[in-house]
Structure 1
Amino acid sequence: MKKRVVVGLSGGVDSSVAAYLLKEAGYDVIGLFMKNWHDDSVTISNECPWLEDSNDAMLVAEKLGIPFQTVDLSEEYKERIVDYMFREYQMGRTPNPDVLCNREIKFDVFMKIALGLGADFVATGHYCRKGISKKNGKEVYHLLSGKDPNKDQSYFLCQLSQEQLSKTLFPIGELLKPEVRKIAAEQNLITAEKRDSQGLCFIGKVRLPEFLQQKLAPKDGEIVEVPATFSEYKRIKTEFSTEEERLKYYSTKRNYSKVDGKTIGTHHGAHYFTKGQRKGLAVGGTAEPLFVIDTDVEENIIYTGQGKDHPGLFRRGIFVKPEETHWIREDLKLSEDQQLEVMARIRYRQPLEKAVLYQTLSGLYIIFENPQSAVTEGQFVAWYRGEELLGSGVIS
């Protein structure tokens, strides 16, 4: 019996080639397109052409001679992703919908539908790889970074479980993007030259403030500029009574108040802004560009600093609550008072940085060798050993 694989055909080149490679490898392949979004009012003109995408996916399936159908998951998407995003922004955090979308939609709701169709596996066009080893007679699944360093997407899958990985295939993980395009062109697939989609998973490019205004009303507030000479930046503590006190010191974000700087403008809602943001402040006349160094959604104030090296942008440590800590490699999970040297990143495409994980009773601390810029609450920190992604957590 041929093994059956359901491929999430998105209408892009990566998933098209994934489907082709699986068919060539002798699998029984079914193409499934996920429709997850109805509201075009907040998307930037023609940047959410899901109709065009589903059409391209159908033409690819036709060309490959595989069955194809569309599933409407917009209700689950709204509930699990969009509503979550609104809640996070309301609390002054910046969510990562793409990571959530993989955990909640592609590898949960979609996977269940695929298994219901008798699939042995689900496949996607992600640039990452899967490894399998045996430990104490049990199979252990490894999430490995993609061979293409410019396209590695392992970070987006940092919340997957052993169970989800066991049923997943990543057919293009060993390829470079130009090779994928070449295969698509050789097979005359309509998606061969198609641009990579931008913006939110399944929604396309969104004007974030307009998107958020559906739920979060605009409210004028002050933009405060904090000088790089602010006295708190010079106060560095070097003596600690306990190890946890040290970890906490490196991981606690600074709290600002209006008296720490001067008011230089107004904005329409602190929850529309995120740390490290440069665009959208609409304040001119500064020697260097202004960056958001913090937002206070309670007081509706945005704190800014001049230049990308402003000390307010940097922090060495991160804290992750126990309920928001996730290990893909459950067998490597740290016990209290254990530590582990890793490489970590706090956003997609960021080069991996040296860090140490410290597991305490109150949660997990990640202390970087070098201070990190724009550590943003609500985003995911992911930690690696070599090419393998071991786990991740929500920055608290």
Structure 2
Amino acid sequence: MNKKPRVVVGLSGGVDSSVAAHLLLEQGYEVIGMFMKNWHDESVTISNECPWMEDSTDAMLVAEKLGIPFQAIDLSEEYRERIVDYMFSEYEAGRTPNPDILCNREIKFDIFLKAAQKLKADFVATGHYCQKGSISKEDSTVYQLLAGADTNKDQSYFLCQLSQEQLEKALFPIGHLQKSEVRAIAKKLDLITAEKKDSQGLCFIGKVRLPEFLQQQLKPKKGRIIQIPEELSVFDRYQVPAGVSLDELDDATLDGIAFPIHYSQSQGKTIGEHNGAHYFTVGQRKGLHVGGTGKPLFVIATDTRENIIYTGLGEEHPGLLRNALFVKNDQIHWIREDLKLEIGQTARYEARIRYRQPLVGATLIQRENGLYVLFDSPQKGIASGQFVAWYQGAECIGSGTIF
């Protein structure tokens, strides 16, 4: 008698993972539900937005209803080391981290996967809206990370740092469905999570007050808010020179186009005060508390060393827009290792720098010092520390941390 393949489902207490577990049962898998407890400190969580105890109970009730074994695992120590400490250090350095992407790479498809393998699981599954494909190549299989069928919920961007080894062991049972279909299935099964709202905020922590969260380690520190006039952003030097092929650009020109813009205090005027440059990120509009500017004010750069925030007026301020970005060699990640660019090679893809952002055409140029991503149109609020992901159609090919 053939043994059923065993899969451990990360039951979060939400509707997506609940339906994922049900679908796997229907497909003939032996299913185990596991709840990950990754956060204890509720002092910074906005009340009742994502209380882990309620989520754990809901996950347990779903497992009971589906008739599958259930257990909880405490990964809070690993989560603090790999995600929270990373967040603090990134903000302190003036960069903008994406904990959800790291959480998938470091927790769900690493620590959690290893815990599942101790239970002799063949796979782990989550309620992500994405799909998995595969291509046979000679003696091996190449796995593909594909967008979810629900374009409004596609979460492939959050999984853009997964490796071939992680994808091999991953299942995404609801990726072919629309959110409305997932809720309809949960309702038909009378699952407690059928009408439950989607969780928001930091992966596993919930909706937090970010300044209070950061203040656990990064202390408030008064500094100046400086407004930079449009004409001083020198936007022209961030354009590709007319009539020049991208292949012909030298590294110095690419650096000028792709590296973050740096301002000096003498370029603008002081218009207000803030409580710490490390609490702000490029593209941010809220939290500046500066009135009487007419147009909305946006953060266009931060200097955590001098504790200064540079701002610009309006969404079209040139300091808010960039045509390109750079990824250091050690931060480049190819999901499709067989498509990796060698030094001197270029390739055309579509790319995005944040979740749900429409994909835009981009040219990738691999040079000795790293990867340059040049967009077909200027991108708003490119922030160091965030991730750029590039796609070929519905397939996510690779990603990198923005310099």
**TM-score with structure 1 setting the length:** 0.98
Structure 1 position 255, deviation (Å): 1.0
Whichever residue aligns with residue 395 of structure 2, its letter is E
Matches within 5 A, 1:1-396: 1-230=3-232, 232-234=234-236, 238=241, 242-396=249-403
Conserved? CA contact 2:238–2:256, under 8 Å: no
Once the two structures are superposed, what CA deviation does each residue of 1:108-157 show, in whole Å capped at 9, x if it has no partner?
00000001101111000000000011112210100000000000000000
Whichever residue aligns with residue 280 of structure 2, its letter is F
Whichever residue aligns with residue 327 of structure 2, its letter is V
Conserved? CA contact 2:9–2:124, under 8 Å: yes
Structure 1 position 43, deviation (Å): 1.0
Conserved? CA contact 2:233–2:318, under 8 Å: no
Structure 1 position 234, deviation (Å): 5.0
Return the alpha-carbon distance in structure 1 between the equivalents of residues 202 and 93 of structure 2: 20
Q: Structure 1 residues 46, 236: CA separation in 2 closer, same or farther (over 3 Å shift)?
A: closer
Structure 1 position 243, deviation (Å): 2.6
Tell which deviates more after alignment, 205-214 or 180-189: 205-214
Whichever residue aligns with residue 386 of structure 2, its letter is Q
Conserved? CA contact 1:275–1:375, under 8 Å: yes
Whichever residue aligns with residue 382 of structure 1, its letter is A
Return the alpha-carbon distance in structure 1 between the equivalents of residues 19 and 237 of structure 2: 55
Once the two structures are superposed, what CA deviation does each residue of 1:294-348 show, in whole Å capped at 9, x if it has no partner?
1010110001111111111011111101110000011111111011100000011
Conserved? CA contact 1:276–1:374, under 8 Å: yes
Conserved? CA contact 1:220–1:267, under 8 Å: yes
Return the alpha-carbon distance in structure 2 between the equivalents of residues 100 and 302 of structure 1: 27
Structure 1 position 254, deviation (Å): 1.5
Give the match's secondary structure for 2:86. Answer: helix
Return the alpha-carbon distance in structure 2 between the equivalents of residues 37 and 373 of structure 1: 33
Conserved? CA contact 1:40–1:48, under 8 Å: no
Whichever residue aligns with residue 133 of structure 1, its letter is I
Give the match's secondary structure for 2:230. Answer: coil
Conserved? CA contact 2:4–2:28, under 8 Å: yes
Conserved? CA contact 1:293–1:312, under 8 Å: yes
Give the match's secondary structure for 2:205. Answer: coil
Whichever residue aligns with residue 282 of structure 2, its letter is K
Return the alpha-carbon distance in structure 1 between the equivalents of residues 249 and 9 of structure 2: 51
Structure 1 position 230, deviation (Å): 2.1
Once the two structures are superposed, what CA deviation does each residue of 1:24-83 show, in whole Å capped at 9, x if it has no partner?
111100000000000001111112310000000000000000000000000000000000
Q: Structure 1 residues 185, 90: CA separation in 2 closer, same or farther (over 3 Å shift)?
A: same
Conserved? CA contact 2:14–2:55, under 8 Å: yes
Return the alpha-carbon distance in structure 2 between the equivalents of residues 208 and 163 of structure 1: 33
Return the alpha-carbon distance in structure 1 between the equivalents of residues 105 and 297 of structure 2: 35
Conserved? CA contact 1:221–1:301, under 8 Å: yes
Q: Structure 1 residues 67, 356: CA separation in 2 closer, same or farther (over 3 Å shift)?
A: same
Structure 1 position 182, deviation (Å): 0.2
Conserved? CA contact 2:237–2:257, under 8 Å: no
Give the match's secondary structure for 2:378. Answer: strand
Return the alpha-carbon distance in structure 2 between the equivalents of residues 286 and 142 of structure 1: 48
Give the match's secondary structure for 1:295. Answer: strand
Conserved? CA contact 2:127–2:172, under 8 Å: yes
Structure 1 position 242, deviation (Å): 4.9
Once the two structures are superposed, what CA deviation does each residue of 1:247-278 show, in whole Å capped at 9, x if it has no partner?
22210222111111110000000000001111
Give the match's secondary structure for 2:151. Answer: coil
Instruction: State how many pairs are aligned.
Output: 396
Whichever residue aligns with residue 299 of structure 2, its letter is V
Structure 1 position 231, deviation (Å): 6.1
Whichever residue aligns with residue 343 of structure 2, its letter is E
Q: Which runs of 5+ in 1 are unaligned?
A: none
Return the alpha-carbon distance in structure 2 between the equivalents of residues 141 and 113 of structure 1: 22
Return the alpha-carbon distance in structure 2 between the equivalents of residues 358 and 254 of structure 1: 20
Conserved? CA contact 1:134–1:140, under 8 Å: yes
Give the match's secondary structure for 2:262. Answer: coil
Return the alpha-carbon distance in structure 2 between the equivalents of residues 222 and 317 of structure 1: 28
Return the alpha-carbon distance in structure 1 between the equivalents of residues 71 and 132 of structure 2: 27
Q: Which runs of 5+ in 2 are unaligned?
A: none
